[in-house]
Amino acid sequence: MSENILRHPRREVTGRWVAPLAAGATRRLTGVALPEDAVNAAFRLLGLRSSLTQLRFCWRMLLAPSPGMQRLRRRGVRAVTDYRAILREAPQLRGLMKLDFTILLGLYSDALGIGRRQALEAGLVEVYCHLAALVDAYDDLLDTPQARERPLGKGDFLSGETGRLRERLVAALQSRSAGRPRVAALVDDLAAFEAQALAGHQALDLATGLDAPLEAVVRARAATSGLLLRFAAHLWSVLLDLPADLAASSERAAEVFGLVAQFADDVLDWTQDDGVAQNLLGAALVSRPSELAALRAVARGTPGRSVPYALLRRLAPRSLADLERTRRHVSCYPDDPRYGGLRRFGDDVYETLLPALPSVDFRELDPIRHAVQSALA
């Protein structure tokens, strides 16, 4: 079978024999037991339909990783371990937890010296998981066609799934506020955060679309993505009773991290819908009409999929260079050496993981996310 695959590398293979090999290699090399369903879900998301492409991916990620990929892998192993431990403590969080926030909590635990038990005892877990889902809902809301056609209002934030998640978060905060004035004030802080995010979104001239300059899009992203993680850090620091100076520096670090992480996310998300005003790569491409036209042609040929990074780099090198210069300019983390892990994680995601990913089929994203969460639970 393998010989036949090598002779015909483009042939689609319906067998699922690579997944058990990948799961076994992951368990042997990292100590994490991933169910085969989760491995197959990841393969589908990344468009790895043939056995050969799956094997190449496993080689790059598991058997011959770069130093940056090794660091990402170690962080991922810890996140999966924490994820499962948290679900054992709070099974009601199934479906609300996100692994990327588990990774971020691990990074803050390293920087601030917070143990997992301390976080659990502080009541942090339940609240930050609600926040993780809320952040995801806000991010999705800001990227909808409605958000680009008209300025969003307060009612938009409080409707649908976003409103229901917000109610659960507020209830969780109120349940922990007795005798703790700083915790009680978090509900007002949430409203203030929402007002700031809304103002930042409205400050971007939505009618300009791709004509919005890169600087305006960066400011808008800083007022949304940066604030999302800044509020997360604020919530954590209050629940953990951190000293004011430590809380302030952690919030600044989170804000910068949120904006830097958005660069990788925007590059990955750039698809046929390249008129998204908030998309950083779209804003960089507008000054390069030939690169924009070439990428539009590729995106039209594969609707629903992101453009592979290798193809972006070949067809739009100058736009990517502009974006990279901007990313470096905003990557000024606090001088505190405790946040070195946070900085390295952001850099590794952009410089190591992003170039290794093929195009992603976003139409598969939600069912695959649920499949992975279910498998890891």
pLDDT of residue 332: 73
Q: What is the pLDDT of residues 173-229, one digit of tens each?
A: 999 999 999 999 999 999 998 888 878 777 665 555 556 778 878 887 787 788 888
Cβ density class 93-103: b for 16+ within 10 Å, e for less: beebbbbebbb
Average pLDDT for residues 70-84, to the nearest whole number?
A: 90
Count structural domains, the chain.
Answer: 1
Residue 37 lies in a domain: no
Residue 7 lies in a domain: no
Cβ proximity of 276 and 299 under 8 Å: no
Domain of residue 342: give its range: 65-376
pLDDT of residue 185: 95
Average pLDDT for residues 4-19, to the nearest whole number?
A: 52
pLDDT of residue 158: 80
Residue 105 lies in a domain: yes
Cβ proximity of 206 and 149 under 8 Å: yes
| Cα-based distances in Å from 181 to 134, 188, 189, 249, 291 | 23, 11, 12, 22, 54
The average confidence (pLDDT) of the chain is 83
First to last CA, the chain: 34
Strand partners, 361: 305
pLDDT of residue 238: 93
| Cα–Cα dist 256/221, whole Å | 11
Cβ proximity of 172 and 129 under 8 Å: no
Structure tokens at 72: 């990402």
Cβ proximity of 359 and 26 under 8 Å: no
Residue 124 lies in a domain: yes
Q: 341 or 141, which is more confident?
A: 341
Residue 341: which pLDDT band, with cuts at 50, 70 and 90? confident
| Cα–Cα dist 41/63, whole Å | 20
Choice among 4-8, 288-292, 316-320 with the minimum mean pLDDT: 4-8
Residue 9: which pLDDT band, with cuts at 50, 70 and 90? very low
Residue 240 lies in a domain: yes
pLDDT of residue 20: 92
Average pLDDT for residues 349-370, to the nearest whole number?
A: 84
Cβ density class 310-322: b for 16+ within 10 Å, e for less: eebeebbeebbeb
Residue 4 lies in a domain: no
Three-class secondary structure assignment of 264-285: HHHHHHCCCCCCCCCCHHHHHH
Residue 206 lies in a domain: yes
Q: Can you list the pairs that 87-91 forms with residues at least 24 positions away whose Cβ atoms lie under 8 Å?
A: 87/377, 89/120, 89/125, 90/125, 90/126, 90/129
| Cα–Cα dist 324/300, whole Å | 25
Average pLDDT for residues 309-313, to the nearest whole number?
A: 92
Q: What is the CATH number of the domain that holds 199?
A: 1.10.600
Residue 210 lies in a domain: yes
Residue 133: which pLDDT band, with cuts at 50, 70 and 90? confident
| Cα–Cα dist 200/352, whole Å | 30
| pLDDT of 321 over the 60 cut | yes
Choice among 72-76, 129-133, 147-151, 341-345 with the minimum mean pLDDT: 147-151
pLDDT of residue 14: 46
Q: What is the pLDDT of residues 160-176, one digit of tens each?
A: 888 888 999 999 999 99
Q: What is the pLDDT of residues 225-278, one digit of tens each?
A: 888 889 999 999 999 999 998 899 889 888 888 888 888 888 887 775 655 556
If one counts every other C-beta atom within 10 angstroms of the C-beta of residue 177, the result is 15
pLDDT of residue 7: 37
